[in-house]
C-alpha cells in the first residue's frame, strides 16, 4: 500500500509540473526593485508599481442622516486618475441631496471641484461628469453635501479611478 501511495504522489508531481507555465520574476536584475515584465519599467516603490500596473481603486463613503456639510475624505498617496463618481440614497428615501467632490492642497486649502457640477443623489442613483480627472499626490480630497430636500436618511458615494 505504501508503494502504491508513493507511486501516486510521483505521478501527480510529474503531471503537475507539466502544467507549469513559468516563473514570475519580481527582480530579475537584482536591483531590489520590482520588475514589470509586461512592458513596464522597474518600480522602486509601491506607488510606482501601482502606476505601472494600472491598478484600479475606489473610495466609498456612506453618510447617515446627511446635512449640509464638508468632510475631508482621504489623502492621495500618489497621483490618481479619476474615472467616475457615483451616488445613491437609501431605497426608501424620497428626497434628494447634492454632492460635490473637491481636490485640496496638501494642507487642505485651496479646494476646487473635480466635477463639472455637483451631482444630485436620489434613491435611483446618479453619476457625475468629471471635469478634472487628475488628483495630485499628497492632495486632500473632500466631499461636500448640500442641503437635503425632502427625506434623505442615507447617501452612499464612490469615487473610482486608476493609479
| Residue keyed to cell 448640500 | 146
Q: Is residue 146 within 8 Å of residue 118, measured between CB atoms?
A: yes
Report yes or no: 158 and 60 within 8 Å, Cβ to Cβ: yes
Q: In the structure grid, which three cell numbers stand for residue 141, read together?
A: 480630497
Predicted pLDDT at 36: 46
What residues contact 133, with CB distance under 8 A and at least 6 apart? 81, 82, 83, 114, 161
Instruction: Specify the pLDDT at position 100.
Output: 97
Report the predicted TM-score, pTM, of the whole model to 2 decimal places. 0.67
Q: Give every residue of the chain whose pLDDT is below 70, as ranges.
A: 1-57, 59
Q: Per-domain residue ranges for the chain?
A: 6-162
Amino acid at each position: 500500500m505504501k508503494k502504491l501511495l508513493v507511486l501516486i504522489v510521483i505521478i501527480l508531481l510529474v503531471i503537475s509540473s507539466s502544467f507549469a507555465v513559468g516563473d514570475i520574476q519580481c527582480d530579475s536584475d537584482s536591483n531590489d526593485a520590482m520588475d514589470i515584465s509586461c512592458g513596464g519599467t522597474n518600480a522602486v516603490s509601491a506607488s510606482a508599481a501601482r502606476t505601472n500596473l494600472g491598478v484600479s481603486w475606489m473610495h466609498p463613503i456612506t453618510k447617515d442622516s446627511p446635512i449640509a456639510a464638508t468632510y475631508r475624505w482621504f489623502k492621495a498617496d500618489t497621483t490618481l486618475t479619476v474615472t467616475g463618481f457615483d451616488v445613491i440614497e437609501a431605497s426608501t428615501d424620497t428626497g434628494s441631496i447634492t454632492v460635490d467632490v473637491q481636490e485640496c492642497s496638501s494642507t487642505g486649502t485651496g479646494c476646487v471641484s473635480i466635477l463639472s457640477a455637483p451631482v444630485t443623489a436620489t434613491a435611483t442613483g446618479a453619476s457625475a461628469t468629471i471635469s478634472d480627472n487628475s488628483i495630485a499626490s499628497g492632495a486632500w480630497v473632500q466631499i461636500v453635501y448640500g442641503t437635503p430636500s425632502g427625506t434623505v436618511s442615507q447617501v452612499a458615494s464612490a469615487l473610482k479611478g486608476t493609479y
